[in-house]
Chain A
């Protein structure tokens, strides 16, 4: 069965610090997709990134970067030079491709960036 673990329940950092949010997943499929979503205080869910299981290249988008390591079943998310606007709950999610219309979400990590 699919499972996503986000061990960090809450993280607080001071503005401009770097922060890494951990995500560990479990799946028996060889083809799957991993996602990160952001939920700011306003409540909507914002898509950040999708990564398929065959693409282990790290990705960078501005201050955001993602490290995908199949060997450790991890898909960690780093924010560089954090800003107050980064304060949100961040969810990691997994979708198995074949017959897996079921997206499974982790419990989320609440990030507070203090000025």
Chain B
């Protein structure tokens, strides 16, 4: 059982380049999230999705786009990378045991380290 898988694990970009991070989960979870982790700032939510075809902005959405075309996949895109987007990105998924109430803990991928030069 793979859980949450992120690809790629490492990437170096030049300013202005674009890229997509792929997150895949095999637990049939409804909710998926993208976080970024920076030193001293914990994890900050970029975008999240409460189901296939839906996405919503989190705390720090600027410069990122997302898509959830399939329930198991959540893509994070950087259209024009900036050095401020150098970070470790974590994807997570969670479940609900009671309809709209989000009761589940987050299951995280291993992280993707992105460096923008």
Chief secondary structure at chain B's binding surface: strand
Please state if B101 and A97 are interface contacts (CB–CB under 8 Å): yes
Q: Mark each residue of chain A from 73 to 114: 1 if its CB lies under 8 Å from any CB of chain B, else 0.
A: 000000000000000000101010111111111111000000
Mark out the residues of chain B between 63 and 117 whose CB falls within 8 Å of any chain A CB in the assembled complex: 88, 90, 92, 94, 100-108, 110-111
Among A44, A91, A103, A108, contact of B111 (Cβ-Cβ < 8 Å): A44
A44, B108: Cα distance in complex, Å: 8
A72, B107: Cα distance in complex, Å: 28
Q: A52-B103, A98-B100, A102-B48 are in contact. Are A45 and B108 (CB under 8 A)?
A: yes
Q: Which residues of B lie under 8 Å from residue A37 when comparing CB positions?
A: 106
A95, B103: Cα distance in complex, Å: 8
Q: Which residues of A lie under 8 Å from residue B35 when comparing CB positions?
A: 105
Interface contacts (Cβ under 8 Å), in number, total 57
A20, B50: Cα distance in complex, Å: 35
A47, B29: Cα distance in complex, Å: 16
A64 touches B (CB below 8 Å): no
Please state if A101 and B50 are interface contacts (CB–CB under 8 Å): yes
Q: A91-B43, A108-B42 are in contact. Are A47 and B48 (CB under 8 A)?
A: no
Q: Which residues of B lie under 8 Å from residue A33 when comparing CB positions?
A: 102-103
A102, B50: Cα distance in complex, Å: 10
List residues of chain A with CB under 8 Å of any chain B CB: 9, 31, 33, 35, 37, 43-45, 47, 50, 52, 91, 93, 95, 97-108
